[in-house]
Amino acid sequence: MIANRLPVLPNPIKGVFFDMDGVLYDSMGAHANAWSQAFHFFGFDFSPEMVYRNEGRTAQSTINLVFQQDKKRDATEHEVLKIYAKKTEIIADFPDAVAFDGVVSLMKDLSEKSISIWVVTGSSQDKFLNALLQDFEGYVDKSRIITGQDVQHGKPHPEPYLMALKRSGLASHEVVVIENAPLGIQSAKGAGIFTIAVNTGILDDQVLWDSGADQVHKDMLGLKF
Ligand code: MG
């Protein structure tokens, strides 16, 4: 029931939990195309828009979703590894993802205000996680990243954001999540956290509102805490 919801921005804010793809990096176009091409290579149809709609799932969950649709069963471990390896191979040939404008200055601002910065991503690929540490050096620390490997259940399950609450020692009413994806928003709201959506992709704003976002913005340039 979201009709009676009265979302209140935490005051003071003690932590900001950032999603990675589509929030910190302009990377979703590449992921969408790479997933779509990898599935196509193995004879499955999964459009880039479907990737956007299912963004935030772990790789295994994404592959199982396609198998359930097409074959009415989960993928075997071997099939998961094969398809994920293909997706990884395809995306490796794409140009490196670029950080969105405004992210570093927002992190600088948060840091000056002693607001803790966390990254909560479904991704587990070392390439992207290492890039995070380089691109946001001084702001993002390895001990404050929750990856797909830290959780049993990926987004839309609340576990990733609950894990960030647990590790940070912060309460849900002390933090804000910044997300771009419907399932990511559901995950954050399931953990009871005020959630700001940035619509950096191809979906309608309404999809993000319907997922439970407390605010929807075009990008991060106007965000201040
Ligand atoms: Mg995202």
Residue 6 confidence (pLDDT): 57
Look at residues 92, 116, 138 and tell me which one is the last residue of a structural domain.
92
Tally the C-alpha atoms within 13 A of residue 116's C-alpha that lie toward its C-beta.
17
Instruction: Tell me the pLDDT tens digit for each residue of 53-70.
Output: 999 888 889 999 999 999
Q: What is the CATH number of the domain that holds 161?
A: 3.40.50.1000
Does residue 23 lie within any of the structural domains?
Answer: yes
- The alpha carbon of 55 and the centre of ligand 1 are apart by a number of angstroms equal to 6
Residue 3 confidence (pLDDT): 44
Look at residues 63, 92, 121 and tell me which one is the last residue of a structural domain.
92
Does residue 70 lie within any of the structural domains?
Answer: yes
- The alpha carbon of 115 and the centre of ligand 1 are apart by a number of angstroms equal to 21
Task: Assess whether 126 and 160 both reside in one domain.
Answer: yes
Ordered DSSP codes for 59-102: HHHHHHHHHHHHHSSPPPHHHHHHHHHHHHHHHHTSPPP-BPTT
- The alpha carbon of 52 and the centre of ligand 1 are apart by a number of angstroms equal to 9
- The alpha carbon of 126 and the centre of ligand 1 are apart by a number of angstroms equal to 17
Contacts of 70 (CB under 8 A, 6+ apart): 44, 45
- The alpha carbon of 146 and the centre of ligand 1 are apart by a number of angstroms equal to 13
Task: Assess whether 137 and 85 both reside in one domain.
Answer: no
Does residue 3 lie within any of the structural domains?
Answer: no
User: Angle between the 59-71 and 77-92 helix axes, to the nearest 10 degrees?
Assistant: 120
- The alpha carbon of 82 and the centre of ligand 1 are apart by a number of angstroms equal to 24
Does residue 6 lie within any of the structural domains?
Answer: no
CB 118 within 8 A of CB 142: no
Does residue 2 lie within any of the structural domains?
Answer: no
Task: Assess whether 71 and 114 both reside in one domain.
Answer: no
- The alpha carbon of 135 and the centre of ligand 1 are apart by a number of angstroms equal to 17
Residue 5 confidence (pLDDT): 52
Task: Assess whether 196 and 133 both reside in one domain.
Answer: yes
Over the chain (225 residues), the average pLDDT of each successive run of 10 is 62 96 94 96 96 89 96 98 96 92 95 97 85 95 94 93 98 97 97 97 95 94 84
Residue 58 token pair: 């772990």
Task: Assess whether 117 and 50 both reside in one domain.
Answer: no
Task: Assess whether 142 and 194 both reside in one domain.
Answer: yes
Burial 153-168 (b: 16+ CB within 10 A, else e): ebbbbbbbbbbbbeeb
- The DSSP letter of residue 127 is H
Measured CA to CA, the distance from residue 105 to residue 157 in angstroms comes to: 30
**pTM for this one?**
0.89
CB 26 within 8 A of CB 201: no
What is the total count of domains within the chain? Answer: 2
Q: What is the CA radius of gyration of the chain?
A: 17
Does residue 186 lie within any of the structural domains?
Answer: yes
Q: What is the CATH number of the domain that holds 72?
A: 1.10.150.240
Domain span at 119: 15-27+97-217
Indicate if the alpha-carbon torsion angle 173, 124, 45, 31 is positive or negative.
positive
- The alpha carbon of 179 and the centre of ligand 1 are apart by a number of angstroms equal to 6
Does residue 9 lie within any of the structural domains?
Answer: no
Does residue 7 lie within any of the structural domains?
Answer: no
- The alpha carbon of 122 and the centre of ligand 1 are apart by a number of angstroms equal to 9
Helix (H, G, I), strand (E, B) or coil at 129: helix
- The alpha carbon of 83 and the centre of ligand 1 are apart by a number of angstroms equal to 21
Look at residues 66, 92, 118 and tell me which one is the last residue of a structural domain.
92
Task: Assess whether 68 and 142 both reside in one domain.
Answer: no
Residue 57 confidence (pLDDT): 84
Task: Assess whether 111 and 185 both reside in one domain.
Answer: yes
Task: Assess whether 58 and 155 both reside in one domain.
Answer: no
